Amino acid sequence: MSREGTRRGPLAGIRVVELGGLGPGPFCGMLLGDLGAEVIRVDRPAEAGAPTRHPVLHRGRTSIAVDLKHPAGADAVLRVIATADAVIEGFRPGAVERMGLGPDVCLAANPKLVYGRMTGWGQDGPLAQEPGHDINYIALSGALHAIAPAGGDPVVPLNLVGDFGGGGMLLGLGLVSALLHARTGGQGQVVDAAMTDGTALLLAMTYGFMAQGTWEDRPGVNLLDGGAPFYGVYRCADGGHVAIGAIEPQFYAALLRVLGLTDDPVFARQRDRASWPAMREHLTEVFARRTRDDWATAFEGQSACVTPVLSLTEAAEHPHNTVRGTHRRGAHGGHEPSPAPRFAATPAADPAPAPVIGAHTSDVLRIAGIAGEDIDNLREKGIIG
Protein backbone atom coordinates (compact mmCIF):
# COMPACT_ATOMS: atom_id res chain seq x y z
CA MET A 1 0.00 0.00 0.00
CA SER A 2 3.00 2.31 -0.05
CA ARG A 3 4.14 4.32 -3.03
CA GLU A 4 7.31 2.27 -3.28
CA GLY A 5 5.76 -1.20 -2.96
CA THR A 6 6.65 -3.66 -5.68
CA ARG A 7 5.31 -1.67 -8.63
CA ARG A 8 7.44 -1.29 -11.73
CA GLY A 9 7.15 0.86 -14.81
CA PRO A 10 7.62 4.50 -15.82
CA LEU A 11 4.75 5.64 -13.57
CA ALA A 12 5.90 3.84 -10.41
CA GLY A 13 5.49 6.21 -7.47
CA ILE A 14 2.39 7.93 -8.92
CA ARG A 15 -0.84 7.54 -6.97
CA VAL A 16 -4.19 7.94 -8.74
CA VAL A 17 -7.68 7.93 -7.21
CA GLU A 18 -10.37 6.68 -9.60
CA LEU A 19 -13.90 7.64 -8.59
CA GLY A 20 -15.84 4.65 -9.91
CA GLY A 21 -17.20 5.03 -13.42
CA LEU A 22 -17.58 2.84 -16.50
CA GLY A 23 -15.76 2.41 -19.79
CA PRO A 24 -13.23 5.14 -20.64
CA GLY A 25 -12.39 6.20 -17.06
CA PRO A 26 -11.51 2.66 -15.93
CA PHE A 27 -9.64 2.13 -19.21
CA CYS A 28 -7.52 5.17 -18.41
CA GLY A 29 -6.97 3.81 -14.90
CA MET A 30 -5.94 0.45 -16.35
CA LEU A 31 -3.41 2.14 -18.66
CA LEU A 32 -1.86 4.10 -15.80
CA GLY A 33 -1.84 1.06 -13.51
CA ASP A 34 -0.28 -1.11 -16.21
CA LEU A 35 2.59 1.38 -16.40
CA GLY A 36 3.27 1.29 -12.67
CA ALA A 37 0.93 3.83 -11.08
CA GLU A 38 -0.94 2.91 -7.91
CA VAL A 39 -4.61 3.28 -8.87
CA ILE A 40 -7.10 3.35 -6.00
CA ARG A 41 -10.59 2.70 -7.31
CA VAL A 42 -13.58 3.86 -5.25
CA ASP A 43 -16.74 1.74 -5.53
CA ARG A 44 -20.01 1.65 -3.59
CA PRO A 45 -20.23 -0.14 -0.22
CA ALA A 46 -23.18 -2.20 -1.49
CA GLU A 47 -20.78 -3.94 -3.87
CA ALA A 48 -18.11 -4.68 -1.26
CA GLY A 49 -16.95 -8.28 -1.17
CA ALA A 50 -18.10 -9.04 -4.71
CA PRO A 51 -15.80 -9.71 -7.67
CA THR A 52 -15.71 -6.98 -10.27
CA ARG A 53 -17.73 -7.39 -13.45
CA HIS A 54 -14.78 -6.03 -15.43
CA PRO A 55 -11.78 -8.27 -14.61
CA VAL A 56 -9.54 -6.78 -17.32
CA LEU A 57 -10.38 -3.07 -17.07
CA HIS A 58 -10.09 -3.23 -13.27
CA ARG A 59 -6.85 -5.20 -13.11
CA GLY A 60 -3.93 -3.91 -11.08
CA ARG A 61 -6.14 -1.81 -8.81
CA THR A 62 -6.30 -1.09 -5.14
CA SER A 63 -10.02 -1.20 -4.26
CA ILE A 64 -11.95 0.70 -1.62
CA ALA A 65 -15.70 0.80 -1.08
CA VAL A 66 -16.99 4.15 0.17
CA ASP A 67 -20.35 5.90 -0.08
CA LEU A 68 -19.44 9.14 -1.86
CA LYS A 69 -22.95 10.53 -1.37
CA HIS A 70 -22.54 10.54 2.41
CA PRO A 71 -20.59 13.57 3.70
CA ALA A 72 -18.44 11.37 5.96
CA GLY A 73 -17.64 9.09 3.02
CA ALA A 74 -16.75 12.00 0.77
CA ASP A 75 -14.55 13.44 3.53
CA ALA A 76 -12.73 10.12 3.90
CA VAL A 77 -12.04 9.98 0.16
CA LEU A 78 -10.88 13.60 0.22
CA ARG A 79 -8.30 12.53 2.81
CA VAL A 80 -7.10 9.89 0.36
CA ILE A 81 -7.05 12.41 -2.52
CA ALA A 82 -4.84 14.66 -0.40
CA THR A 83 -2.15 11.95 -0.65
CA ALA A 84 -2.58 11.39 -4.40
CA ASP A 85 -1.05 12.82 -7.55
CA ALA A 86 -4.14 12.56 -9.75
CA VAL A 87 -7.88 11.92 -9.75
CA ILE A 88 -10.06 10.35 -12.44
CA GLU A 89 -13.80 11.05 -12.43
CA GLY A 90 -16.35 10.27 -15.11
CA PHE A 91 -19.65 11.57 -13.75
CA ARG A 92 -21.98 14.02 -15.45
CA PRO A 93 -20.81 17.64 -14.99
CA GLY A 94 -21.67 18.93 -11.53
CA ALA A 95 -22.18 15.52 -9.90
CA VAL A 96 -18.89 15.41 -7.96
CA GLU A 97 -19.33 19.02 -6.92
CA ARG A 98 -22.60 18.02 -5.24
CA MET A 99 -20.71 15.25 -3.43
CA GLY A 100 -18.18 17.76 -2.14
CA LEU A 101 -15.35 16.29 -4.24
CA GLY A 102 -15.20 18.78 -7.08
CA PRO A 103 -11.87 20.06 -8.40
CA ASP A 104 -11.94 23.29 -6.35
CA VAL A 105 -12.26 21.36 -3.09
CA CYS A 106 -9.68 18.74 -4.07
CA LEU A 107 -7.13 21.26 -5.37
CA ALA A 108 -7.53 23.28 -2.18
CA ALA A 109 -6.58 20.15 -0.23
CA ASN A 110 -3.81 19.21 -2.66
CA PRO A 111 -2.55 22.10 -4.87
CA LYS A 112 -0.34 19.82 -7.00
CA LEU A 113 -3.23 17.52 -7.84
CA VAL A 114 -4.09 16.72 -11.46
CA TYR A 115 -7.86 16.36 -11.70
CA GLY A 116 -8.94 14.39 -14.78
CA ARG A 117 -12.56 14.68 -15.92
CA MET A 118 -13.90 12.14 -18.45
CA THR A 119 -17.21 12.89 -20.17
CA GLY A 120 -18.85 12.38 -23.54
CA TRP A 121 -19.77 15.98 -24.31
CA GLY A 122 -17.32 17.90 -22.10
CA GLN A 123 -17.80 20.09 -19.05
CA ASP A 124 -19.66 22.82 -20.96
CA GLY A 125 -21.66 23.32 -24.13
CA PRO A 126 -25.37 22.83 -24.92
CA LEU A 127 -25.18 19.03 -24.55
CA ALA A 128 -23.05 18.90 -21.40
CA GLN A 129 -25.89 17.59 -19.23
CA GLU A 130 -27.35 15.20 -21.81
CA PRO A 131 -26.84 11.43 -21.45
CA GLY A 132 -25.06 9.50 -24.18
CA HIS A 133 -22.82 6.62 -25.10
CA ASP A 134 -19.90 6.04 -27.44
CA ILE A 135 -22.17 5.71 -30.48
CA ASN A 136 -23.75 9.12 -29.80
CA TYR A 137 -20.41 10.87 -29.34
CA ILE A 138 -18.85 9.46 -32.52
CA ALA A 139 -22.07 10.24 -34.41
CA LEU A 140 -21.87 13.92 -33.48
CA SER A 141 -18.12 13.98 -34.19
CA GLY A 142 -18.51 12.83 -37.80
CA ALA A 143 -16.66 9.55 -37.36
CA LEU A 144 -19.69 7.26 -37.50
CA HIS A 145 -20.84 8.78 -40.80
CA ALA A 146 -17.43 8.12 -42.31
CA ILE A 147 -17.39 4.43 -41.32
CA ALA A 148 -19.81 2.95 -43.86
CA PRO A 149 -19.83 1.25 -47.25
CA ALA A 150 -20.75 3.36 -50.26
CA GLY A 151 -24.52 3.78 -50.27
CA GLY A 152 -24.83 1.76 -47.06
CA ASP A 153 -25.56 2.42 -43.42
CA PRO A 154 -22.87 3.41 -40.87
CA VAL A 155 -21.10 0.47 -39.25
CA VAL A 156 -20.71 0.48 -35.46
CA PRO A 157 -16.95 0.14 -34.71
CA LEU A 158 -17.53 -1.47 -31.30
CA ASN A 159 -16.97 1.25 -28.70
CA LEU A 160 -13.33 1.67 -29.61
CA VAL A 161 -13.38 5.14 -31.18
CA GLY A 162 -15.22 7.22 -28.58
CA ASP A 163 -14.84 5.38 -25.27
CA PHE A 164 -11.29 4.21 -25.60
CA GLY A 165 -9.39 5.97 -28.42
CA GLY A 166 -11.04 9.37 -28.14
CA GLY A 167 -11.80 9.02 -24.43
CA GLY A 168 -9.67 6.96 -22.05
CA MET A 169 -6.50 7.12 -24.13
CA LEU A 170 -6.84 10.90 -24.52
CA LEU A 171 -7.42 11.35 -20.79
CA GLY A 172 -4.32 9.26 -20.08
CA LEU A 173 -2.22 11.55 -22.27
CA GLY A 174 -3.75 14.60 -20.61
CA LEU A 175 -3.08 13.31 -17.10
CA VAL A 176 0.53 12.39 -17.79
CA SER A 177 1.12 15.77 -19.47
CA ALA A 178 -0.35 17.63 -16.50
CA LEU A 179 1.61 15.45 -14.06
CA LEU A 180 4.83 16.46 -15.82
CA HIS A 181 3.81 20.11 -15.47
CA ALA A 182 2.98 19.64 -11.79
CA ARG A 183 6.35 17.98 -11.18
CA THR A 184 8.27 20.84 -12.82
CA GLY A 185 6.07 23.80 -11.85
CA GLY A 186 4.37 22.62 -8.67
CA GLN A 187 0.92 23.50 -9.97
CA GLY A 188 -1.99 21.12 -10.36
CA GLN A 189 -4.86 21.64 -12.76
CA VAL A 190 -8.08 20.23 -14.24
CA VAL A 191 -7.96 18.12 -17.41
CA ASP A 192 -11.26 18.22 -19.35
CA ALA A 193 -11.32 15.19 -21.68
CA ALA A 194 -14.45 14.88 -23.82
CA MET A 195 -15.07 11.98 -26.17
CA THR A 196 -16.47 14.32 -28.80
CA ASP A 197 -13.22 16.31 -28.73
CA GLY A 198 -11.08 13.19 -28.75
CA THR A 199 -12.95 11.59 -31.64
CA ALA A 200 -12.61 14.80 -33.65
CA LEU A 201 -8.88 14.71 -32.89
CA LEU A 202 -8.64 11.17 -34.26
CA LEU A 203 -10.02 12.52 -37.54
CA ALA A 204 -7.11 14.96 -37.97
CA MET A 205 -5.65 13.23 -41.04
CA THR A 206 -9.09 12.86 -42.62
CA TYR A 207 -9.78 16.58 -42.21
CA GLY A 208 -6.35 17.21 -43.69
CA PHE A 209 -7.24 15.15 -46.76
CA MET A 210 -10.50 17.10 -47.09
CA ALA A 211 -8.60 20.39 -46.94
CA GLN A 212 -6.38 19.15 -49.78
CA GLY A 213 -9.38 18.09 -51.87
CA THR A 214 -8.40 14.42 -51.80
CA TRP A 215 -11.25 13.18 -49.58
CA GLU A 216 -14.96 13.32 -50.34
CA ASP A 217 -17.28 13.90 -47.38
CA ARG A 218 -19.26 10.76 -48.12
CA PRO A 219 -18.35 7.25 -47.01
CA GLY A 220 -17.09 4.28 -48.97
CA VAL A 221 -15.56 6.17 -51.91
CA ASN A 222 -12.17 7.20 -50.52
CA LEU A 223 -8.72 5.66 -50.20
CA LEU A 224 -8.96 4.54 -46.57
CA ASP A 225 -12.68 3.98 -46.02
CA GLY A 226 -13.11 0.88 -48.17
CA GLY A 227 -13.62 2.80 -51.38
CA ALA A 228 -10.30 1.71 -52.89
CA PRO A 229 -10.38 -1.96 -53.99
CA PHE A 230 -6.77 -2.42 -52.86
CA TYR A 231 -7.60 -1.27 -49.31
CA GLY A 232 -10.46 -3.36 -48.03
CA VAL A 233 -11.82 -6.71 -46.94
CA TYR A 234 -12.74 -9.69 -49.12
CA ARG A 235 -14.75 -12.83 -48.37
CA CYS A 236 -13.08 -16.17 -49.02
CA ALA A 237 -14.44 -19.58 -50.02
CA ASP A 238 -14.92 -20.72 -46.42
CA GLY A 239 -16.66 -17.55 -45.25
CA GLY A 240 -13.50 -16.13 -43.72
CA HIS A 241 -11.99 -12.84 -44.83
CA VAL A 242 -8.69 -11.30 -45.81
CA ALA A 243 -7.67 -7.67 -45.34
CA ILE A 244 -5.74 -5.86 -48.07
CA GLY A 245 -3.72 -2.69 -47.55
CA ALA A 246 -1.71 -2.60 -50.80
CA ILE A 247 -1.58 1.20 -51.11
CA GLU A 248 2.01 1.78 -52.23
CA PRO A 249 2.95 0.72 -55.80
CA GLN A 250 5.38 -1.98 -54.68
CA PHE A 251 2.77 -3.63 -52.45
CA TYR A 252 0.13 -3.32 -55.16
CA ALA A 253 2.50 -5.01 -57.61
CA ALA A 254 3.10 -7.84 -55.12
CA LEU A 255 -0.66 -8.25 -54.66
CA LEU A 256 -1.21 -8.63 -58.39
CA ARG A 257 1.77 -10.99 -58.71
CA VAL A 258 0.46 -13.43 -56.09
CA LEU A 259 -3.03 -13.29 -57.58
CA GLY A 260 -1.75 -13.78 -61.14
CA LEU A 261 -3.22 -10.46 -62.25
CA THR A 262 -0.08 -8.57 -63.23
CA ASP A 263 -1.00 -8.44 -66.92
CA ASP A 264 -4.72 -7.92 -66.43
CA PRO A 265 -5.59 -4.53 -68.01
CA VAL A 266 -8.29 -3.91 -65.40
CA PHE A 267 -5.54 -3.37 -62.82
CA ALA A 268 -3.21 -1.28 -64.98
CA ARG A 269 -4.13 2.09 -63.40
CA GLN A 270 -4.21 1.69 -59.62
CA ARG A 271 -5.35 5.21 -58.71
CA ASP A 272 -7.89 5.59 -61.53
CA ARG A 273 -11.14 5.75 -59.56
CA ALA A 274 -13.16 4.97 -62.68
CA SER A 275 -11.49 1.53 -62.69
CA TRP A 276 -12.19 0.79 -59.04
CA PRO A 277 -15.62 -0.87 -59.45
CA ALA A 278 -14.29 -3.33 -62.04
CA MET A 279 -11.19 -4.00 -59.93
CA ARG A 280 -13.30 -4.71 -56.85
CA GLU A 281 -15.61 -7.03 -58.74
CA HIS A 282 -12.66 -9.00 -60.10
CA LEU A 283 -10.91 -9.20 -56.72
CA THR A 284 -14.14 -10.34 -55.08
CA GLU A 285 -14.38 -13.20 -57.55
CA VAL A 286 -10.71 -14.19 -57.20
CA PHE A 287 -10.64 -14.26 -53.39
CA ALA A 288 -13.83 -16.33 -53.29
CA ARG A 289 -11.98 -19.21 -54.97
CA ARG A 290 -9.86 -20.22 -51.95
CA THR A 291 -10.16 -20.35 -48.18
CA ARG A 292 -8.89 -17.65 -45.87
CA ASP A 293 -6.01 -19.76 -44.60
CA ASP A 294 -5.04 -20.78 -48.14
CA TRP A 295 -4.72 -17.13 -49.04
CA ALA A 296 -2.81 -16.42 -45.83
CA THR A 297 -0.29 -19.08 -46.81
CA ALA A 298 -0.05 -17.80 -50.38
CA PHE A 299 0.70 -14.24 -49.23
CA GLU A 300 3.06 -15.13 -46.40
CA GLY A 301 6.39 -13.38 -46.91
CA GLN A 302 5.26 -11.73 -50.18
CA SER A 303 5.25 -8.10 -48.91
CA ALA A 304 1.79 -7.48 -50.33
CA CYS A 305 0.12 -6.16 -47.16
CA VAL A 306 -2.45 -8.98 -47.12
CA THR A 307 -3.44 -10.62 -43.83
CA PRO A 308 -6.18 -12.93 -42.60
CA VAL A 309 -8.97 -11.33 -40.57
CA LEU A 310 -8.68 -13.12 -37.21
CA SER A 311 -11.21 -13.58 -34.45
CA LEU A 312 -10.37 -12.34 -30.95
CA THR A 313 -9.31 -15.85 -29.91
CA GLU A 314 -7.29 -16.42 -33.07
CA ALA A 315 -5.52 -13.08 -32.64
CA ALA A 316 -4.41 -14.01 -29.12
CA GLU A 317 -2.96 -17.27 -30.44
CA HIS A 318 -1.31 -16.01 -33.64
CA PRO A 319 2.44 -16.79 -33.73
CA HIS A 320 3.50 -13.15 -34.12
CA ASN A 321 1.40 -12.01 -31.17
CA THR A 322 2.52 -15.02 -29.15
CA VAL A 323 6.22 -14.30 -29.71
CA ARG A 324 5.78 -10.65 -28.74
CA GLY A 325 3.56 -11.46 -25.77
CA THR A 326 0.85 -9.14 -27.08
CA HIS A 327 -1.70 -11.04 -25.01
CA ARG A 328 -1.49 -12.77 -21.66
CA ARG A 329 -3.61 -15.18 -19.65
CA GLY A 330 -5.56 -13.31 -16.99
CA ALA A 331 -6.55 -14.61 -13.59
CA HIS A 332 -10.06 -14.96 -15.02
CA GLY A 333 -8.73 -17.77 -17.22
CA GLY A 334 -9.10 -16.04 -20.57
CA HIS A 335 -6.92 -13.94 -22.83
CA GLU A 336 -6.36 -10.25 -22.18
CA PRO A 337 -4.08 -7.62 -23.72
CA SER A 338 -0.65 -7.17 -22.15
CA PRO A 339 0.48 -3.73 -20.96
CA ALA A 340 1.65 -1.43 -23.76
CA PRO A 341 3.70 0.37 -24.91
CA ARG A 342 6.99 -1.18 -23.88
CA PHE A 343 9.79 0.65 -22.10
CA ALA A 344 13.44 -0.33 -22.36
CA ALA A 345 14.64 1.21 -19.10
CA THR A 346 11.47 0.96 -16.97
CA PRO A 347 9.57 -2.16 -18.05
CA ALA A 348 6.16 -2.68 -16.52
CA ALA A 349 5.37 -5.66 -14.31
CA ASP A 350 2.58 -8.10 -15.09
CA PRO A 351 -0.63 -6.50 -13.81
CA ALA A 352 -2.16 -8.00 -10.70
CA PRO A 353 -5.66 -9.50 -10.97
CA ALA A 354 -8.64 -7.26 -10.35
CA PRO A 355 -9.29 -7.34 -6.59
CA VAL A 356 -12.51 -8.09 -4.79
CA ILE A 357 -14.40 -4.80 -4.43
CA GLY A 358 -13.44 -3.01 -1.23
CA ALA A 359 -10.56 -5.35 -0.42
CA HIS A 360 -8.22 -2.54 0.62
CA THR A 361 -10.63 -0.07 2.23
CA SER A 362 -9.24 -0.16 5.75
CA ASP A 363 -5.59 -0.11 4.65
CA VAL A 364 -6.03 2.87 2.31
CA LEU A 365 -7.98 4.92 4.86
CA ARG A 366 -5.44 4.13 7.55
CA ILE A 367 -2.57 5.30 5.33
CA ALA A 368 -4.57 8.48 4.64
CA GLY A 369 -4.41 9.20 8.37
CA ILE A 370 -7.87 8.06 9.47
CA ALA A 371 -7.82 6.42 12.89
CA GLY A 372 -8.84 2.79 13.34
CA GLU A 373 -11.82 3.61 15.57
CA ASP A 374 -13.08 6.09 12.98
CA ILE A 375 -12.77 3.45 10.27
CA ASP A 376 -14.76 1.03 12.43
CA ASN A 377 -17.39 3.69 12.96
CA LEU A 378 -17.70 4.32 9.21
CA ARG A 379 -18.09 0.61 8.64
CA GLU A 380 -20.75 0.23 11.31
CA LYS A 381 -22.77 2.99 9.68
CA GLY A 382 -22.47 1.37 6.26
CA ILE A 383 -20.49 4.30 4.84
CA ILE A 384 -17.60 2.01 3.89
CA GLY A 385 -17.52 -1.67 2.98
pLDDT, tens digit (0-9, with 9 covering 90-100), for 131-179: 999 999 999 999 999 999 999 999 999 999 999 999 999 999 999 999 9
Mean pLDDT of the chain, nearest integer: 96
Region 281-294: mean pLDDT is: 98
pLDDT, tens digit (0-9, with 9 covering 90-100), for 172-222: 999 999 999 999 999 999 999 999 999 999 999 999 999 999 999 999 999
**Domains defined along the chain, listed by start:** 15-202+330-380 (3.40.50.10540), 231-323 (3.30.1540.10)
Beta-carbon contacts of residue 301 (< 8 Å; ≥ 6 apart) = none
Q: What is the maximum span of the chain, computed from C-alpha positions, in angstroms?
A: 84
Residue in 227, 275, 262 with CA at minimum distance from that of residue 247:
227
pTM, two decimal places: 0.95
Selected catalytic residue, list 133, 181, 282, 318: 133
Banded model confidence at residue 3, pLDDT cuts 50, 70, 90 = very low
Distance set, CA 279 to CA 32, 229, 236, 270, 286 (Å) = 46, 6, 16, 9, 11
Residue 224 has pLDDT above 80, yes or no: yes
Active site residue 264: no
Taking the C-alpha atoms of residue 156 and residue 140, their distance in angstroms, rounded to an integer, is 14
Active site residue 263: no
Taking the C-alpha atoms of residue 227 and residue 235, their distance in angstroms, rounded to an integer, is 16
Residue percentage of the chain with pLDDT more than 70 = 98
pLDDT at 4: 44
pLDDT at 97: 97
Strands 38-43 and 61-65: parallel
pLDDT at 375: 97
At residue 218's C-alpha, the angle toward residues 24 and 166, to 5°, is: 10
pLDDT at 5: 52
pLDDT at 229: 98
Selected catalytic residue, list 34, 134, 163, 192: 163
